[in-house]
């Protein structure tokens, strides 16, 4: 099942995709009931069964509003190769503030008084469906409700200057999500999906989740050994080669750019880039 959150007159409606159209839902589908708190919507925004248009036409919101966003760094071998760094011996875990989340067509907004080296990172995002604490790797994927696409937008100058990554990764608008949730049963094998980025139509990242150093089950087991993953939490699983910071010469996002991030079987986030207009 493919689940969308759609803006209707300032309210959020839930919809499923059927035959290329969005059909309004009366509530959270049974298979996703554990995510109810993270799927905020107004049941009166649209009558159940109403045709809300095609996904390309509908004003889509971020498909989920998680309590926490857990992210993983340096988890693709091809990305490790381009950075010149050594592969981590264990998953490198950091956090993005949920306040950084925006929808799949919202603008990435850059304040040039804070950062001037902003980069893209396409990622497969995992949505937790059942509470996880000390869950074995063999059972970890049983706790996944759905998948979506993320762009782990990164202020590289802050990232390298701070010595830790939270501020650089958590600026407002630095976590586009969407365009929908694809349930785990429909998504299939998460370790065999193509993912890519285009900047102004030019392909900059093009790889496969098979390049992950630590697979999704391993990541979830590792995280749950240290802290609880709650229903609705989102785990970003790393990015492949092709980040602008590691190009020759380095490349950063500029006002007027358009970034498209896509994962096979889910869809595409299209993010215009805008600078904050200084007074």
| pLDDT band at residue 199 using 50, 70 and 90 as cut-offs | very high
pLDDT digits (tens, 9 = 90+) for 128-186: 999 999 999 999 999 999 999 999 999 999 999 998 999 999 999 999 999 999 999 99
Mean pLDDT for the chain? Answer: 97
Average pLDDT over residues 32-38: 95
Say yes or no to pLDDT of 6 above 80.
yes
Give tens-digit pLDDT for 106-129: 999 999 999 999 999 999 999 999
Our measurement of the distance from residue 133's CA atom to the centroid of its chain's CA atoms, rounded to an integer in Å, reads: 22
pLDDT tier at 277, thresholds 50, 70, 90? confident
Q: Using omega within 30 degrees of 0 as the cis cutoff, is the peptide bond preceding 61 cis?
A: no
Q: Which class in CATH covers the domain with range 69-275?
A: alpha beta
Please, which residues bridge with residue 164 across strands? none
Written as six digits, the tokens of 272 are: 């215009």
Residue 278 has pLDDT above 90, yes or no: no
Task: Give the residue from 176, 183, 238, 229 showing the smallest Cα distance to 68.
Answer: 229
Q: What are phi and psi of 161, to 5 degrees?
A: -75, -35
Q: What's the whole-model pTM score?
A: 0.96
CA angle centred on 159, ends 157 and 165, rounded to 5°: 160
pLDDT at 279: 67
Element (H, E) at 148: strand 144-151
Q: Domain residue spans in the chain?
A: 1-61, 69-275
CB 142 within 8 A of CB 221: no
What span, in angstroms and rounded, lies between the C-alpha atoms of 114 and 171?
Answer: 9
Q: What percent of the chain has pLDDT over 70?
A: 100
Structure tokens at 269: 């986030």
Once rounded to an integer, what is the mean pLDDT over residues 218-222? 98
CB 61 within 8 A of CB 7: yes
Residue 69 in this model has a pLDDT that exceeds 80: yes
pLDDT over 90 for what percent of the chain?
96
Q: Per this entry, what is the length of the chain?
A: 279
């Amino acid at each position: 099942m493919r689940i969308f959150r759609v803006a209707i007159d300032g309210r959020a409606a839930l919809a499923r995709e059927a035959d290329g159209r969005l059909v309004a839902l009366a509530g959270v589908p049974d298979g996703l009931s554990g995510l109810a708190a993270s799927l905020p919507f107004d049941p009166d925004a649209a009558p159940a069964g109403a045709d809300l248009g095609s996904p390309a036409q509908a004003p889509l919101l971020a498909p989920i509003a998680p309590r926490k966003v857990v992210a993983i760094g340096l988890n693709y071998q091809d990305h490790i190769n381009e950075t010149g760094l050594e592969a981590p011996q264990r998953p490198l875990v950091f956090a993005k503030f949920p306040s950084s989340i925006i929808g799949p067509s919202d603008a990435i907004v850059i304040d040039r008084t804070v950062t001037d080296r902003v980069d893209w990172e396409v990622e497969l995002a995992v949505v937790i469906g059942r509470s996880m604490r000390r869950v074995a790797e063999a059972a970890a994927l049983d706790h996944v409700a759905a998948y979506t696409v993320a762009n782990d937008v990164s202020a590289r100058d802050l990232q390298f200057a701070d010595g830790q990554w939270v501020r650089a990764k958590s600026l407002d608008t630095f976590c586009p999500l969407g365009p929908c949730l694809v349930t785990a049963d429909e998504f299939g094998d998460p370790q065999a999906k193509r993912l890519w980025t285009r900047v102004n139509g030019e392909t900059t990242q093009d790889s496969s989740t098979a390049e992950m150093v630590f697979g999704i089950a391993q990541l979830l087991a590792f995280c749950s050994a240290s802290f609880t993953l709650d229903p609705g939490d989102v785990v970003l699983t790393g990015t492949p080669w092709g980040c602008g910071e590691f190009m020759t010469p380095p490349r950063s996002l500029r006002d007027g750019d358009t970034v498209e991030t896509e994962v096979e079987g889910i869809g595409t986030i299209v993010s215009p880039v805008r600078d904050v207009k200084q007074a």
